[in-house]
């Protein structure tokens, strides 16, 4: 075994094809979809251990605390967490990570992977990574091709070059765009084609040199964004001005399709990018009638269906359903024919255009200190459940349009109201007048939970003025 490999995990996406479970405010990589933990946590654990360095994560400002919290929950201490000022696709993101890694060691091996893939057998994939190491150390860029078991139109393909059909590592001839069904069947019958997983192994210096040759303008822009980056509470915020000049382009198009030293590792185990509910059904445990259920679900005389309830207190009953996807959440329900679930992205866009809040946001809103969820929303009042992590604190803040009542139901809250600081225990309450400068903290070692009742003329999250914040979020709904 050679030197350790540095995983680079990309998790800035906002996939809508798994709505309502995946939304812009909390996308699929952070959701328990299949197996234990979120897809992001599974990805980080898959690439951890003695043969891997601490992961480098590329994400955006909204997800930065979710990333560190979820890594902490599985006992992984990350390396640099890079914050993109805006999404510019995978080419700038992977280049920025390579430049950061190369500062310490230009020879370092990098394994670049999305955070939302499902790989059932982590050991088998780690073996595939090790198989590709020699080629990567020799200056090649190695990708991982999945042996197809059906004519799939949702994936790009890799055409293999000349080589022994029994070899695990083969030269890569070319990338093939997502095909029609007929063309996908032809490639399956012909052989010599693999699904493109979008996972790459290379030396940091190899990728940088590839950009220097094939995308020198982007190299200059991303290098400036990294050089001018600002450290922020353990995160590295890439400089927005040079970053905005980067072309919005995938690394496949910018580099891989032009690079002349590509290899592919043939991986024959279970893999999916979980690009939609059909893929989730394919990889879920199903009964003899091909019905997969999760949560409080009862299926009666159903066939070929996926039924999920994401709330322990919400029972979902499927009666006589066939080829249906039904996903129930407290604020939104999806019921769709399996043949139509690929159209979910367009459906969510239509909801967004109609200003339907559920298109993008959840009632539960994750924050660096914990989370809150809206229980009831009226014209001039709102009831929230707020959970604050041990040792965490909300910002010192005030509101111009609302007053608040806090009732502690679990743990103890340390409450600041103007110049007064006091402890509020279980079954005790406190009133926050409109305009008062206030803060709540959890001084204990267990989560603190309270019910907040807001009253006022405007109840939006952007009615907030921050005076102090341990998370340096600035102003705005989330900062």
> Tens digit of pLDDT for each residue in 80-115?
999 999 999 999 999 999 999 999 999 999 999 999
Tokens encoding 28? 């699929």
- List where CATH 2.60.120.10 sits in the chain: 364-468
Homologous superfamily (CATH) of 6-272 is: Spore Coat Polysaccharide Biosynthesis Protein SpsA; Chain A (3.90.550.10)
Q: Which residues have a Cβ under 8 Å from the Cβ of 405 and sit 6 or more positions away?
A: 429, 430, 431, 432, 452, 453, 455
Q: At what angle do helices 122-137 and 39-46 cross, to 10 degrees?
A: 50
Kindly report the average pLDDT of the chain as a whole number. 92
**Where do the H-state alpha helices sit in 105-239?**
122-137, 181-190, 204-214, 216-227
Residue 464 has pLDDT above 90, yes or no: yes
Residue 479 has pLDDT above 70, yes or no: no
Class of residue 159 by CB neighbours under 10 A (exposed 0-12, middle 13-18, buried 19+): middle
pLDDT at site 473:
75
How large a percentage of the chain has pLDDT more than 90? Answer: 80
Residue 404 has pLDDT above 90, yes or no: yes
Strand partners, 407: 429, 451
Q: Sort strands 292-294 and 306-309 into parallel, antiparallel or unpaired.
A: parallel
Q: Please provide residue 144's backbone torsions phi and psi, each rounded to the nearest 5 degrees.
A: -120, 120
pLDDT at site 332:
94
pLDDT, average across residues 305-321: 95
pLDDT, average across residues 436-463: 94
Three-state SS at 131? helix
pLDDT, average across residues 36-45: 94
pLDDT at site 477:
64
pLDDT at site 166:
65
What confidence tens digit (pLDDT) does each residue in 174-194 have? Answer: 899 999 999 999 999 998 899
Homologous superfamily (CATH) of 364-468 is: Jelly Rolls (2.60.120.10)
Residue 240 has pLDDT above 70, yes or no: yes
Alpha carbons 47 and 54: distance in angstroms, whole number: 9
Question: ∠ CA 63-78-53 to the nearest 5 degrees?
Answer: 140
Q: How confident is the model at residue 13 (pLDDT cuts 50, 70, 90)?
A: confident
3-state class percentages of the chain: helix first, strand second, coil last, to nearest 5: 25, 35, 40
pLDDT, average across residues 293-305: 96
Q: Which residues have a Cβ under 8 Å from the Cβ of 207 and sit 6 or more positions away?
A: 94, 95, 98, 110, 141, 255
CA nearest neighbour of 470 among 460, 462, 457, 479: 479
pLDDT, average across residues 164-183: 85
Return the residue matching tokens 């459906």: 347
pLDDT, average across residues 299-307: 97
CA atoms within 13 A of residue 47's CA, in its CB half-sphere: 33
Alpha carbons 138 and 233: distance in angstroms, whole number: 37
pLDDT at site 355:
93
* Long-range Cβ pairs for the range 286-293 (8 Å, 24+): 291/318
- List where CATH 3.90.550.10 sits in the chain: 6-272
Give how far the C-alpha of residue 157 lies from the chain's centroid of Cα atoms, to the nearest Å.
24
Q: How confident is the model at residue 2 (pLDDT cuts 50, 70, 90)?
A: low
Alpha carbons 357 and 365: distance in angstroms, whole number: 13
Give how far the C-alpha of residue 324 lies from the chain's centroid of Cα atoms, to the nearest Å.
26
Q: How confident is the model at residue 220 (pLDDT cuts 50, 70, 90)?
A: very high
Q: How confident is the model at residue 476 (pLDDT cuts 50, 70, 90)?
A: low
Residue 470 has pLDDT above 90, yes or no: no
pLDDT at site 62:
86
């Amino acid at each position: 075994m050679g030197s350790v490999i540095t995983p680079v995990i990309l998790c800035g996406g906002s996939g809508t094809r798994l709505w309502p479970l995946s939304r812009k405010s909390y996308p699929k990589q952070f959701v328990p979809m299949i197996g234990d933990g979120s897809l992001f946590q599974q990805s980080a654990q898959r690439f951890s251990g003695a043969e891997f360095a601490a992961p480098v994560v590329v994400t955006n400002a909204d997800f930065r605390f979710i990333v560190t919290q979820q890594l902490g929950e599985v006992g992984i201490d990350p390396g640099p967490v890079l914050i993109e000022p805006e999404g510019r696709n995978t080419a700038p993101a992977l280049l920025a990570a390579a430049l950061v890694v190369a500062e310490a060691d230009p020879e370092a091996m990098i394994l670049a992977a999305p955070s939302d893939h499902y790989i059932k057998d982590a050991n088998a994939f780690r073996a595939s990574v090790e198989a590709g190491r020699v080629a990567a150390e020799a200056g090649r860029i190695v990708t991982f091709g999945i042996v197809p078991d059906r004519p799939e139109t949702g994936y790009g393909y890799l055409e293999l070059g000349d080589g022994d059909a029994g070899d695990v590592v083969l030269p890569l001839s070319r990338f093939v765009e997502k095909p029609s069904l007929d063309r996908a069947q032809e490639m399956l019958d012909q052989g010599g084609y693999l699904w493109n997983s979008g996972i790459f192994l290379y030396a940091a210096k190899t990728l940088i040199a590839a950009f220097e040759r094939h995308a020198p303008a982007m190299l200059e822009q991303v290098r400036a964004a990294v050089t001018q980056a600002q450290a922020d509470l353990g995160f590295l915020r890439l400089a927005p001005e040079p970053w905005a000049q980067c072309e919005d382009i995938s690394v496949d198009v910018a580099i891989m399709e032009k690079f002349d030293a590509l290899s592919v590792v043939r991986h024959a185990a279970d893999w999916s990018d979980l690009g939609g509910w059909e893929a989730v059904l394919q990889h879920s445990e199903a009964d003899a009638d091909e019905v997969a259920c999760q949560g409080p679900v009862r299926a009666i005389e159903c066939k070929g269906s996926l039924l999920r309830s994401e709330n322990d207190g919400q029972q979902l009953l499927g009666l006589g359903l066939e080829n249906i996807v039904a996903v129930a959440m407290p604020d939104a329900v999806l019921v769709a024919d399996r043949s139509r679930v690929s159209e979910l992205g367009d459906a969510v866009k239509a909801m967004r255009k109609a200003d339907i809040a559920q298109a993008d946001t959840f009632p539960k809103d994750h924050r660096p200190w914990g989370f809150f969820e809206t229980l009831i929303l009226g014209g001039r009042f709102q009831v929230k459940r707020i959970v604050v992590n041990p040792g965490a604190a909300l910002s010192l803040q005030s509101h111009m349009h609302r007053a608040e009542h806090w009732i502690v139901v679990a743990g103890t809250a340390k409450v600041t109201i103007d110049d007064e600081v006091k402890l509020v225990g279980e079954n005790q309450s406190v009133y926050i007048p409109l305009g008062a400068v206030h803060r709540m903290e959890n001084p204990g070692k267990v989560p603190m939970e309270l019910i907040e009742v807001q009253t006022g003329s405007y109840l939006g999250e952007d009615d907030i003025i921050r005076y102090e914040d341990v998370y340096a979020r600035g102003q705005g709904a989330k900062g």
